[in-house]
Structure 1
């Protein structure tokens, strides 16, 4: 079994949150946890790539490779799939092409559009990230962390929040 998570000395919700309803406080804490978990995940990926001397690849670039998978996609598709902001995708794709991890090709029908796919080197880097995540999943499963509440239930709740946020953005525009 894993040891309980250490208590973070920083408050997990703003000091004035005590007056808020329990569910609101829990939501605010979830937002902070999501942000910290995302940063930790990027740090884990960074550590994984620094060990075998692949320090040229940033964690965000490694996640782009991972999320591209076997598909041939456009930068817009990557933006809609992942956690990437507009110009960052273009910048990172240019870097990935220059490093030889991604092949790009202009679309025949729309010359402004570029399709990208992983090169064999990019596929090898993607596999490194995939193996890292598999090792983590196996370790978490053995520790029992993923059982209470069951991770599929947690994922369902996260998808509902994601859908709510997406609806809020669409409502604004």
Structure 2
């Protein structure tokens, strides 16, 4: 059973017996912890790969911004809304990526306040490196059978449903 997890070594209150969570709630709480750990591990994997390739000028978060930007030309706001980045972090990282030559930016013709960004050739090269890393992982996971039970497409469908629920909760607040 999943009890309240203390934060950074601080003791946390245990759940009272009458507040015992149903199995689905426990599974949901565990999935939240797994999602957070998987995100950090993914960034560590990218960091290790870049260290191996001696690509030391980028942080893992910057590499993921390049990966998620892909072939699109978008505004910083659009990038934030489709990724996992905080507003100020996106602005800071985009500025760094432009300075380092990985991202090209230009003012939008229709709205001069808006800036559109897209990958440069060097940014596309980094995106390709990250994609190749993930494809190697996918191949290894597929060979081990990890992606078969339950099928990953069903896991993705469930995750998209949770994402949609969270989005609706955020919209409901405002």
TM-score (norm. length: structure 1): 0.90
Deviations 1:118-172 (A, max 9, x none): 1111000000000000000000000000000000000000000000000100111
> How far apart are the structure 1 equivalents of 2:140 and 2:68?
22
Change (3 A) 1:122 1:32: same
Q: CA deviation at 1:114?
A: 0.5
> How far apart are the structure 2 equivalents of 1:45 and 1:12?
30
> How far apart are the structure 1 equivalents of 2:77 and 2:135?
28
1:133 partnered with 2:123: no
Higher relative contact order (CA 8 A, sep 6+): 1
1:53 partnered with 2:54: yes
Deviations 1:52-109 (A, max 9, x none): 1111100110000001111111101101110011111110000000111011111112
Equivalent pairs counted in the alignment come to: 163
Segments of 5+ residues of structure 1 without an aligned counterpart are: 1-10
**1:80 corresponds to which residue?**
81
SS of alignment partner, residue 146 of structure 1? helix
Change (3 A) 1:109 1:169: same
SS of alignment partner, residue 104 of structure 1? strand
> How far apart are the structure 1 equivalents of 2:168 and 2:105?
33
> How far apart are the structure 1 equivalents of 2:134 and 2:170?
30
**2:172 corresponds to which residue?**
171
Matches within 5 A, 1:3-82: 13-14=3-4, 16=14, 19-82=20-83
Q: CA deviation at 1:40?
A: 0.1
1:92 partnered with 2:82: no
Q: Is the 8 A contact 1:75 1:114 kept in 2?
A: yes
**1:158 corresponds to which residue?**
159
1:119 partnered with 2:109: no
> How far apart are the structure 2 equivalents of 1:143 and 1:47?
22
